[in-house]
Amino acid sequence: MTILCVRFHLPPTHEAALPGLLGLLEEFSPVVEALPPDGALVDLRGAERYFGRSAVELASVIRVRALARYGVDCVIGAGPGTMLARMALREARPGVTCAVPEERDGVVEFLADKPVTALPGVGTATARTLCEYGLDSLGRVASAPLSTLQRLVGGRAGRELHEKANGVDRGRVVPNGVARSLMTERPFERDELDAGRHRRALLSAAEELGARLRALDKVCGTLTLTVRYADRSATSRSRSLKEPTAHSAALTRVAYGMYEGLGLQRARVRALALRAEGLDPAEQASHQLSFDPVDEKVRRIEEVADRARAKFGPRAVMPGALAA
């Protein structure tokens, strides 16, 4: 076991603790890759020999230190590669590290019964195509001829799919820093099923992010949506913007698009979080001019609303959907 995938249960009030938590991981290995908004990959190949402990044992030490120093719990998946560690994370629980065996037979057994959608990089369209031909599990995909997969999904995609289904993990941990970002979260008082309330929470979060970005004279290039569920699991989606922006309406459209792309059906949602990443000075950003007078009007209204909020408070001006 050489790779850990760690996700911290990081409340909004603990967002400033993320650099320190990444520093904690670097005490065990210099090869740490931040996974915004609340995770990281750690390569422990040298650490296992240096500390004389297995990756699972080191994961227990990391969990205890994160709790003791920052009051933050975490879930950890371990595997011989980044893909397998990420997949193991989905089955991990607080206090229990899910580990994929290093032996090939163990890897094959771990993957065999999982649906094709569990494999990173397999989207809805690819999964639908495979399922139409009875390839609905990774075990069946692994046993299918390479030529068959390539006919179904294409030459390169078929080869990658065949390798991944057979446990061939070519991913690497790429060290990086904490992304420049702003985050806001909207927790619900109780686990929420109503899609309308989900959308209002996203609207509120996007409005706040936009106002904060404009106050800092920043624009963001990427928006990340994290949905936390009642069972403490979470789903994250990121989308690069067509152009860097701090325009609340543009951020809201992207947030709605990511939410609808998840296809949540009666999901019990505990919280929704939006993170604006890739921040740059607004003066350096380019903006595609539009002949639509409505867009220019909305932006001018936004400027006036920002001045009103700065003078009378954040709730002085807000979308009608949030007035209640």
Express the helix, strand and coil content of the chain in percent, nearest 5 each.
Answer: 50, 25, 30
In 3-state terms, what secondary structure has residue 33? strand
Query: What's the confidence (pLDDT) of residue 287?
Result: 63
The residue among 13 and 2 whose pLDDT is bigger is: 2
User: Mean of the pLDDT values across residues 212-240?
Assistant: 88
- Averaged pLDDT for residues 46-55: 91
| Contacts of 126 by beta carbon, 8 Å cutoff, 6+ apart | 116, 153, 157, 161
Band (277; pLDDT cuts 50, 70, 90):
confident
Q: Which of 127-136, 209-218, 262-271, 310-319 has the lowest mean pLDDT?
A: 310-319
Q: Which two tokens stand for residue 244?
A: 């860097």
Closest by CA position to 59, among listed 70, 73, 71: 73
* Position 178 pLDDT exceeds 60: no
Per-residue pLDDT at 37: 67
Residues of the chain with pLDDT > 90, as a percent, come to 41
Mean pLDDT of the chain: 86
On the question of pLDDT at 179 being above 60, the answer is no
Specify the residue for token string 């009103």.
308
The C-alpha atoms of residue 90 and residue 164 are separated, in whole angstroms, by 17
H or E element that contains 209: helix 195-215
- Judge whether 209 and 279 are in contact, CB under 8 Å: no
pTM (2 decimals)? 0.60
**pLDDT grade, residue 266 (50/70/90)?**
confident
Count CA atoms closer than 13 A to 320's CA, side-chain side.
0
- Residues 6 or more apart in contact with residue 154 via CB below 8 angstroms: none
pLDDT at 198: 93
Q: Average pLDDT for residues 234-238, to the nearest whole number?
A: 88
Q: Does residue 117 register a pLDDT over 90?
A: no
Mean pLDDT in residue range 212-241? 88
Q: How confident is the model at residue 81 (pLDDT cuts 50, 70, 90)?
A: very high
Answer whether residue 284 shows pLDDT above 90: no
pLDDT digits (tens, 9 = 90+) for 20-37: 888 899 999 999 988 866
How far is the C-alpha of 155 from the C-alpha of 166, rounded, in Å?
17
Task: Give the mean model confidence (pLDDT) for residues 202-215.
Answer: 89
Confidence category of residue 119, pLDDT binned at 50, 70, 90: confident
pLDDT reported for residue 218: 85
Q: At 288, is the pLDDT very low, low, confident or very high (cuts 50, 70, 90)?
A: low
Evaluate if residue 47 carries a pLDDT over 70: yes
Band (pLDDT 50/70/90 cuts) for residue 305 is: confident
DSSP characters over 12-46: GGGGGGHHHHHHHHHTT-S-EEEETTTEEEEE-HH
8-state DSSP, 261: H
The per-residue pLDDT for 174 is: 84
